Amino acid sequence: MNIVSAASALPEHYYDQPTVKKRLERIWAHRPEIVRRLDTLFENCGVEGRHFALPIERYEGLETFGQFNDEWIRCALELGEKAVHKALERAGLAPRDVDMIITSTVTGLAAPSIDARLCNRLDFRSDLKRMPLFGLGCVAGAAALARATDFAKANPKSVVLVLTIELCSLTWQRNDFSLAHIISAGLFGDGASCAVVTGAEHPSKGLRVVDTRSVFYRDTEDVMGWRIDEHGFNIILSPSVPSVAKERLGPDCAKFLSDHGLAPSDISFWICHPGGPKVLAAARDSLELSDDAVALSWESLRNAGNLSSASVMLILERTLQQRPPKPGSKGVLLAMGPGFCSELLLLQA
């Protein structure tokens, strides 16, 4: 199984943190206890700027969950289509070559799902297999890639698209004054990422997926996720996330690698989801890595924020473009998310 290409599509609207903070200070001016904390909270996010699905002034005009979700569907289709086109073009393939599409999101709802709606915009075959995923959150980019390789392993001539779309800004709620929501307003960004995965007998080659592993941590369902009510998505973001990452990620990855006769020191490139500064630092320390080993993750967090499931494939794209792995070298792609859980992929160039 091979990851042949990866591509991202980011909204045209880009705002630096001072601009976002100034807008929130005006909206939340009646809550001075929140406004006083914005400087510190935003600085701690480690984000300098982010892409937004809509012009920033548009968000105040959206009142209901339905209005936010309608915008989510519209923008998700536009970005998803762009990401698919770019990934297929880079792979030298066309929509009709695709046998399966796996789509993932945790920031909007659609039935028919986004993949079905894309079938009416792109020249996919009518026998295309579809697998929409919801609820995996930040781990979904890695998890969807792993499930794509499962399908490609069983169908060695197949082509699988993995598409993640997260429009985190469209989960914002003006009347949610929880600390988790305020932090999320400074941390999360918008974007889509797409990857092309092929089976071993397909002529298109790329990074070989040697193996994958899923790890579920029991009784941690309150660490991260959403509470969904009539107003929309209410984020659950526990301060224990970095602790879980630091405690579990290193040992779980070491066990995964040891089953292949490898140690972390044998890994030449790391593609890590950047949950936030504390989470990324905890992952780095747990895996005993240098900052340079996860430099693209730091860069992605700084310039785009946390894109939830789309982040790890954005970093995959930039790894292929900016730091192409040497032939024969081994790498690990990993992410953590609601459950709480982690997904690990062992790669070879």
C-alpha torsion angle, residues 93, 97, 102, 103 (rounded to 10): 60
Q: Is the peptide bond before 112 cis (omega within 30 degrees of 0)?
A: yes
Measured in whole angstroms, the distance separating CA 216 from the mean position of its chain's CA atoms is 18
Q: Which residues of 16-49 are buried (b: 16+ CB within 10 A; e: fewer)?
A: ebeebbebbeeebeeeeebbeebeebbeebbbeb
Spatial CA neighbour of 190 closest among 293, 32, 82: 82
CA atoms of 282 and 290, how far apart (whole Å): 12
Supply the DSSP string of 270-311, one letter for each residue: EEE----HHHHHHHHHHTT--TGGGHHHHHHHHHH-B-GGGH
Write the CA distances from 172 to 10, 56, 66, 277, 300, integer angstroms: 18, 12, 13, 21, 21
* Close Cβ partners of 78 (under 8 Å, ≥ 6 residues apart): none
Spatial CA neighbour of 311 closest among 198, 144, 85: 144
Measured in whole angstroms, the distance separating CA 178 from the mean position of its chain's CA atoms is 23
Catalytic positions are 138
List the structure tokens of 333: 């792609």
CA atoms of 265 and 111, how far apart (whole Å): 45
